[in-house]
Amino acid sequence: MSSASPPRSPSQSPPAEASADELRRLNSLLRGRLTRANADVQTAASSRSVTADDQHRLSRTLLRQTHDLRALESLYSAQQREVGRLRAEIASPHEPSDPGAAPDPVVVQLESQVRQHEAEFRNLESRFDQAVFERDVLQDQSDHLAEEVRLAGDEIEQLQEDRNDLDRAPEDAEHELLLTETSLTRATEALQQAESWAARLAETSGTAPSDL
CB 126 within 8 A of CB 46: no
pTM here? 0.41
CB 86 within 8 A of CB 37: no
* Best CA proximity match to 131, nearest among 195, 75, 174: 75
Taking only the tens of pLDDT, the chain with its 212 residues reads: 444 444 444 444 444 455 667 767 776 777 777 777 778 777 877 777 777 777 778 778 878 877 877 887 887 788 778 777 777 777 765 554 555 555 567 667 777 777 787 777 777 778 778 878 887 887 888 788 788 878 877 887 887 787 777 667 666 666 777 777 777 777 777 777 877 787 777 777 665 444 44
Write the CATH number of the domain with boundaries 23-92+105-172.
Answer: 1.10.287
Q: What residues contact 73, with CB distance under 8 A and at least 6 apart? A: 128
Report the C-alpha gap between 162 and 176 in whole angstroms.
21
